[in-house]
Amino acid sequence: MRKFCTITLLFSLTLFKLQSHAQKMAFFDFRPLRDSVNKPLAFSYNIGSDKDLYLLLSPDVSLQTELAKLAPHIKTEELLAIGNYSFDFYIDGKKAYTENLGPGAILPQDKVTNRPLDIVLISSNRSGLWSINLWDRFMANAGMSLLGREPKVLEIEISAYVKQNEVKYSGRLAKTQINITRIPKIVDPLKMKPQLIAEGSGFKLSKAKLNKELIVRLNTRIAEQTYRMINGIVVLKNGELLLEQYYNGEKRETFHDPRSVTKSITSTLTGMAIDDGFIKSENQMLKEFYSLQKYANYSTKKDSVRLVDLLSMSAAFDGDDEVEISPGNEENMYPTTDYTKFTLDLPMDPNRRNGAGWTYFTAGTNLVMDVLDKNIPGGVELYANRKLFTPLGIAKFEWARTPQGKPFGGGGLRLRALDFAKYGQLYSNGGIFNGERLVKKSWVEKSLSPIQVLPADKAGFYGLLFWSKTFKVADKSHEVYYSSGNGGNKIYIFKNLPIVIVITASAYGKAFAHLQADEIVEKYLLPAIL
């Protein structure tokens, strides 16, 4: 029989360091149940309590050793890049969720030793950890719907995996069990009705039918915090305002930071600048705008990066926001004094070709904005205000800025939820708003076309700083194009439906953010409208 390592279950009210458990936290210690499945569970936990939830994994051998057993002929460095721990979550004996941790999860030094591994699942004062994101994804995919007031048995099993041509798993290395409940916040059902739409929205009010029962259920789930950190929902049908709701202290006049939703507006301004002749074409190369020999890591491949490569996230820079150790990760850019220089100094990835293969690269979108700002007379901000925002009826905006005070092309353009809806309606209309053409129809179509295939862990395609995917409602598929930003911020524009949906949210850095936004649309808003 395989020897199990120890998992310790920890409940804490405060942040703690591994070496000082006894002084800074109250905890309970137990060993895995091995094969004694009838042994009674000793501990209970209520999701939503003021206690943090930790696991302490004490492996018999290092993760590296476990992976070497699965693939003994692979070198250690390569092995750690294709394998990690796998987590299985069971609720009352039924598998509810499985996740193979990505290579970036767990520090390198923790992979090569068998020292205890601190696994933080729920914490009131820590965020962004791989383990918290793991827990949030479990909750978004299964926990929120399956866990409630009645206690259930949650079992977490850990194994190791290696992914080569296929995925190979070790046997179970460890497991732990706990009686668990989730007691939703008590809400007043009388306050869950669709919110009344005040005058002065800038839209005609829609008389279309709306399933109010579904909206009541949605509002209840937001109020009881099943869906968390949702700030606003706006729905347009045929260009008319059908639903407008705000939560968690926001209101109609609140300027909301949508993070990378702004990238789509960078795409829009590029198309407008091309139409006005300030940029010749999206196929222009970087060498036409910058003396690239003056920057580090010069190569002819860098010369030949086109604007369309940056707009479709397919430029071959060594930059990937989803890989923490990537040189071009956006977090490496923000502390610098010149975002343009940071980007142009980056090396090119020898394993990639420009225009072939998708990686999320925020620095590249800001480089496009820099090109626009340098080539549009008077700069891009005045141009955007005159040519885009004013015709859309957007009187006020707050633009995130580079260290030089220029508009940032990668995110942070703060608008009202209604203003994001106006922008979505512009694309729903093929570039026309209130009878005036603002964006060339061919640019709208090109922006929304499936230019890049997204990686296997992401559904759909990528256009010119727009995403696309398919929702299914009542066995019917509905293709949607959308702008997307950290925190679960979305502008959904449906291909064959006259519907625009805006969700503003502040679940920044939370693994559940995008999942819950999509679920809100697919399970509540679309069925309520259709």
- pLDDT value, residue 4: 43
178 and 286: one domain? no
Residue 18: pLDDT over 80: no
79 and 174: one domain? yes
Domain count, the chain: 2
Q: Which amino acid is at 433?
A: F
Where do we find the tokens 């004013």? 390
- pLDDT value, residue 7: 63
What does the mean pLDDT of the chain come to? 91
Query: Is 518 inside a domain boundary?
Result: no
Please state whether 494 falls in left (phi above 0), alpha (psi between -120 and 50) or beta: beta
Query: Is 439 inside a domain boundary?
Result: no
Pairing state of beta strands 83-91 and 461-462? Answer: unpaired
Query: Is 382 inside a domain boundary?
Result: yes
174 and 314: one domain? no
From the CB of residue 1, how many other CB atoms can be counted at a distance below 10 Å? 6
What gap in Å lies between CA 15 and CA 24, rounded to an integer?
8
40 and 172: one domain? yes
20 and 162: one domain? yes
Query: Is 64 inside a domain boundary?
Result: yes
What gap in Å lies between CA 45 and CA 47, rounded to an integer?
6
DSSP code per residue over 246-284: E-TT--TT--B--GGGHHHHHHHHHHHHHHTTSSS-TT-
| DSSP category for residue 422 | H
| DSSP category for residue 198 | P
Contact 513, 487 (CB under 8 A): yes
What gap in Å lies between CA 371 and CA 379, rounded to an integer?
10
pLDDT in tens, 384-439: 999 999 999 999 999 999 999 999 999 999 999 999 999 999 999 999 999 999 99
Helix (H/G/I), strand (E/B), else coil: 302 = helix
Mark which of 355, 389, 423 sits at the end of a domain: 389
Contact 158, 84 (CB under 8 A): no
Query: Is 96 inside a domain boundary?
Result: yes
Identify the band that residue 13 occupies on the pLDDT scale cut at 50, 70 and 90: very low
Stretch among 17-31, 144-158, 214-228, 350-364 having the lowest mean pLDDT: 17-31
54 and 162: one domain? yes
Tokens of 383: 């141009």
Contact 286, 330 (CB under 8 A): no
Q: What domain range includes position 335?
A: 260-389
Helical (H) or strand (E) element with 192? none
pLDDT in tens, 176-225: 889 999 988 889 988 999 999 999 999 999 999 999 999 999 999 999 99
Query: Is 166 inside a domain boundary?
Result: yes
What gap in Å lies between CA 123 and CA 120, rounded to an integer?
7
26 and 163: one domain? yes
Contact 292, 339 (CB under 8 A): no
Where do we find the tokens 């299985």? 88
Residue length, the chain? 530
Residues 6+ apart with CB under 8 A from 298: 292
What gap in Å lies between CA 511 and CA 189, rounded to an integer?
29
Contact 481, 497 (CB under 8 A): no
From the CB of residue 491, how many other CB atoms can be counted at a distance below 10 Å? 27
- pLDDT value, residue 459: 87
Mark which of 389, 414, 434 sits at the end of a domain: 389
What gap in Å lies between CA 5 and CA 32, rounded to an integer?
8
136 and 46: one domain? yes
Give the residue-averaged pLDDT of 216-244.
96
pLDDT in tens, 318-369: 999 998 889 999 999 999 999 999 999 999 999 999 999 999 999 999 999 9
What gap in Å lies between CA 22 and CA 158, rounded to an integer?
26
Measured on CA atoms in the order 80, 316, 460, 239, is the torsion positive or negative?
Answer: positive
267 and 382: one domain? yes
- pLDDT value, residue 12: 52
- pLDDT value, residue 6: 59
Residue 501: pLDDT over 70: yes
Give the residue-averaged pLDDT of 120-129.
86
What gap in Å lies between CA 326 and CA 321, rounded to an integer?
7
| DSSP category for residue 306 | B
269 and 384: one domain? yes
Identify the band that residue 1 occupies on the pLDDT scale cut at 50, 70 and 90: very low
Give how far Cα 276 sits from Cα of 9, 281, 449, Å.
63, 11, 22
- pLDDT value, residue 189: 87
Tokens of 519: 């679920």
Give the residue-averaged pLDDT of 375-390.
98
Query: Is 126 inside a domain boundary?
Result: yes
- pLDDT value, residue 526: 98
Beta-sheet strands, E only, within 59-173 = 83-91, 94-100, 117-122, 152-163, 167-169
Give how far Cα 487 sits from Cα of 46, 392, 505, 513, 514, Å.
25, 25, 6, 5, 7
What gap in Å lies between CA 429 and CA 412, rounded to an integer?
25
Query: With 0-12 CB in 10 A as exposed, 13-18 as middle and 19+ as buried, what is 27?
Result: middle
Task: Report helix, strand and coil shares of the chain as percent, to nearest 5.
Answer: 30, 25, 45
Query: With 0-12 CB in 10 A as exposed, 13-18 as middle and 19+ as buried, what is 467?
Result: buried
- pLDDT value, residue 473: 95
CATH code at position 379? 3.40.710.10
136 and 34: one domain? yes
Give how far Cα 337 sits from Cα of 98, 302, 326, 379, 405, Å.
42, 22, 19, 20, 11
- pLDDT value, residue 100: 96
Residue 39: pLDDT over 60: no
DSSP code per residue over 42-90: --EEEETSS-EEEEEEE-SS-HHHHHHHHSTTS-HHHHHHHEEEEEEEE
Residues 6+ apart with CB under 8 A from 440: 271, 272, 275, 431
Mark which of 374, 389, 404 sits at the end of a domain: 389
What gap in Å lies between CA 246 and CA 224, rounded to an integer?
15
What gap in Å lies between CA 528 and CA 123, rounded to an integer?
35
Identify the band that residue 293 occupies on the pLDDT scale cut at 50, 70 and 90: very high
264 and 147: one domain? no
Query: Is 398 inside a domain boundary?
Result: no
Where do we find the tokens 């941790």? 101
Give the residue-averaged pLDDT of 65-71.
96
